[in-house]
Amino acid sequence: MALGAVQPVRAADVGFTRFIASLWPEAQAAGVSRATFEAETRGLEPDYKLPDLILPGRPATGAPSQAEFVQVPADYVKEASIARLAAEGQRLMTKHRATLGAIETRFGVPGSVVLAIWGRETDYGRHRLPYDGLRVLATQAYVGRRKEQYRIEFIQALKLIGDGEVTRRDLRSSWAGATGLTQFLPSELGKHGIDLDGDGRRDIWHSVPDALASAAQQLVNKGWQPGLRWAYEVRAPANADCTMGVPELTKPIGQWLREGFVPVRGQKLGAAEQAQPASLLQPEGIYGPAFLTTKNYFVIKEYNFSDLYVLFVGHLADRIVSPHPFATPWSASTQLRTTSVEAMQRHLTRIGLYSDKVDGKAGMKTRAALGAYQKSAGLKVDCWPSEAVLRSIGAAR
């Protein structure tokens, strides 16, 4: 090609350009100006290196193996990380005392909880988000696995830019498009964003008051109950049935206590606490710590759909105000690969013990279904997805 000749545009990128142009009517209907649309989409290119894409003629890239779903609890809720973040959280609790007090008064969400979300999501703002958020959202809308969701997010991001709530430069994100100190998708900012510092913008990128208040508002909008703990660590009785550990099976905390579940460190629960409904959570089956989880546990889970994420945030919030680690140590040292858990889920589905997503994530429902299989096969019932159980399931096919 001669010097200075124009490089041909790749066919896939032509398709991308046409796709972006086709979104103008939706953007206009959402309140995006033509000037903003043209300015922000001019020269926009897809990022085909992102995970979780479906590209014609290429193998599916798949989502990255999120730590919440492939690490054992001891590695994810690592004591060294919790201790470091808790120490920093204590310092920030003092620094932002007025803001956190205002948030707790207005929303009923403890300051320690929103600090813990901030700490887990971006290491209190130290973690620099690596991607151009608009480019991520556009690419996911074009060739991602959740195209319709990301069309909405892309248009909402344009609206945020057009409304002056964020600049394109500041709209940095994760590979999945979450942005800001407390990691919101653009549409979430529209639903839950709060301008706590009163400057006329819901600035979750630079304003700690806005970011923390917005996190609190999101929890409230998802059903947060003021004055209710996220969970209670307990010691399970020797005869506890780990297959009871599903969100649908709730009992008043007092009933769990009467059945032999004992709060750790001699903690005394009042009548109001004992009247609250709770589910059993045993993240490592019969091994490791056990918890009675309240409604607020599942509210935090709406922020990130992972038991380990909620354990991290809830425990970090506790550690910001109290020095105690988990009373029972974690036990498991290995976690099955995602593909192995998927195979397990498919088999459990075929025999009628599991009816949730086949996603390779050994959550509460998968562990309970696995325990039911262990009962039917005459195996030790521990509700933990081990190689031994995987071999048993494979032999039973």
250 within 8 A of 278, measured Cβ to Cβ? yes
Both tokens assigned to 141:
């809308």
As a dihedral over the C-alpha atoms of residue 295, residue 298, residue 299, residue 301, rounded to 10 degrees, the angle is 160
313 within 8 A of 113, measured Cβ to Cβ? yes
Q: What pLDDT is attached to residue 306? A: 86
Q: Is the dihedral of CA 177, 180, 185, 186 positive or negative?
A: negative
Phi, then psi, of 150 in degrees rounded to 5: -80, -20
Partners of residue 144 on adjacent β-strands: 53
What's the one-letter identity of residue 353?
Answer: L
Distance CA 319, CA 373 (A): 37
Q: Which domains does the chain have, with CATH numbers?
A: 11-45+130-179 (no CATH), 231-321 (no CATH), 338-396 (1.10.101.10)
- Report which of 17, 28, 48 is spatially closest to residue 155, judged by C-alpha positions: 28
β-strands 262-263, 131-132: how paired?
A: unpaired
Residue 281's alpha-carbon distances to 207, 227, 261, in angstroms, are: 35, 21, 12
Q: What pLDDT is attached to residue 208? A: 98
The CA radius of gyration of the chain, in Å to the nearest whole number, is: 23
Q: What pLDDT is attached to residue 70? A: 57
What does the buried/exposed string (b/e) look like for 77-104 if buried means 16 or more CB atoms within 10 Å of the residue's CB? beeebbeebbebbeebeeebeebbebbb
212 within 8 A of 194, measured Cβ to Cβ? no
Number of other residues whose CB lies within 10 A of the CB of residue 193: 23
Distance CA 130, CA 119 (A): 17
392 within 8 A of 379, measured Cβ to Cβ? yes
DSSP letters, 91-154, are HHHHHTHHHHHHHHHHH---HHHHHHHHHHHHTTTTSPP-EEHHHHHHHHHHHBS-HHHHHHHH
Distance CA 156, CA 161 (A): 9
Burial label for 265, CB within 10 Å (0-12, 13-18, 19+), is exposed
Chunked in runs of 10, what are the mean pLDDT values of the chain (397 residues)? 43 85 98 98 94 75 50 88 98 98 98 98 96 98 95 98 96 96 97 96 97 98 97 96 95 98 95 97 94 98 91 98 95 81 92 90 91 94 90 79
Distance CA 258, CA 300 (A): 27
Distance CA 357, CA 93 (A): 39
Q: What pLDDT is attached to residue 289? A: 96
